[in-house]
A and B are shown apart, each in its own frame.
Chain A
Amino acid sequence: MSGTEDVTAEAVTMTPTTSQQTRTPGTGYNYISQVVVNAIPYVETDNAAGGVTVTIG
């Protein structure tokens, strides 16, 4: 075996969903060096009934 090859790392950010997710290195990357997982999406909105609608995900 001879020669050298650049190794490139990818840093990714992911957002949780209600389904399982699998993430592999993107094209041109050899591995993932860092994964940032965002907070679960959470939104509160006033509704016409006088309450608050919470939307998650």
Chain B
Amino acid sequence: MANQYKNKIIYGGNTLIDLSGDTVTAATLLEGYTAHDASGAPIIGTASSGGGETVSTAHLFLASGTVDAGITSATIGNGIIDTGLTLADLQAYKYFYYKIRLDDNKPYIGLRIGSTIVSRAVSNGIGAEYTWVDSNQTMIMPISFNVGNSGISGSPARLANNEYYMHSSTLNGQQFLGAISGFSPTDKIYLGCLHMNGLAETTKTMTWAIAGFGGLS
């Protein structure tokens, strides 16, 4: 079958348009947007997200499943969620954050690599820095590290809408997780509800998500 679409036009020896070298594909074009590929065929983008900063990797929810705008549900058993991710999964990104929401009470939440808590925040009683995003007690917490110190730190930047993030000046563009000694790329990543305002860690429904963005380059 002969090729179907005209992708290159030469008029009087001058090339007026030439799509034959284009690299855009449906998979790399943002979902819903239209273009033409190198063959001249019309395409509709299927990429779920993209753009932002000088990133080489699109913003991506790392945790599997999509419920409630990309938030995956899980049930807290012993106050710990196995995210299914490893340290190596997070190290593929320049920045990332996690988000936790509980259906009840205000948590004292954290992120663990293996059995070590490397980031945590208290949502109640620590001041205005950690506040609820909405009436459903949603909060977005940064993964915050002191590089070289496997202990706890935290000085997240906060957006007007109470979303928290770590600034690049903090991370210095390094694979900061890797800079924390004592961890292996295969160590598992957990999210945990460490305390429930002093209440016992009982079974609560927790929604959570881990997102990464900005591939290291």
Residues of A whose CB lies within 8 Å of any CB of B are: 17-18, 44, 46-57
Contact = CB atoms under 8 A, between A and B. Distances in A.
Contacts of B5: 50-52
B39 A49 contact: yes
B11 A18 contact: yes
Q: Name B's interface SS.
A: loop
Given A53-B7, A54-B6, A48 B12 contact: no
Contact of A49 (B2, B11, B12, B38): B38
A51 B41 CA distance: 8
B11 A51 contact: no
Interface residues of B, number: 19
B10 interface: yes
Nearest to A56: B11
B8 interface: yes
B4, B7, B21 interface centre (most CB from chain A within 10 Å): B7
A54 B9 contact: yes
B35 to A, nearest CB: 14
Given A49-B20, A51-B19, A51-B38, A57 B11 contact: yes
A55 B38 CA distance: 17
A48 B6 CA distance: 12
Contact of A55 (B2, B7, B10): B10
